[in-house]
Amino acid sequence: MITITNSSGATIGTGTVDANGSYSIVTTFLIDGNHTIHADSTDAAGNTSGQASVDISIDTIAPNSPIVTFPTASSTTDGTVSGSAEALSTLNIFGPG
């Protein structure tokens, strides 16, 4: 069995390891922000492993709308579009057609 805990030691998920040694667990109780989660495993004899830890960031808030600074309504362009958006976000440009 795999147990996932938060930095306070509270269990936020448990699961069973399959025959290939893989597991997938949906955690609960993680709000937006930075977290350190820990995992340990317990075998059929009740022996528990040491913990593995990973730092994660939860971000469920949509970014603000991007700002387009070029082209303007009165300019012509060679296809270049520029402006600003949330750092590290993905920007999609849509047009006619």
pLDDT tens, residue by residue, 37-68: 999 999 999 999 999 999 999 989 999 999 98
Percent of the chain with pLDDT over 70: 97
- CB within 8 Å of 3: residues ≥ 6 apart: 11, 13, 14, 39, 40, 41, 42
Q: Please give the pLDDT value at position 95.
A: 75
Every domain of the chain and the residues it spans = 2-58
CA atoms of 91 and 81, how far apart (whole Å): 11
> Which of the four pLDDT bands, split at 50, 70 and 90, describes residue 97?
low
Q: Please give the pLDDT value at position 93.
A: 84
Residue 14 has pLDDT above 80, yes or no: yes
CA atoms of 81 and 93, how far apart (whole Å): 9
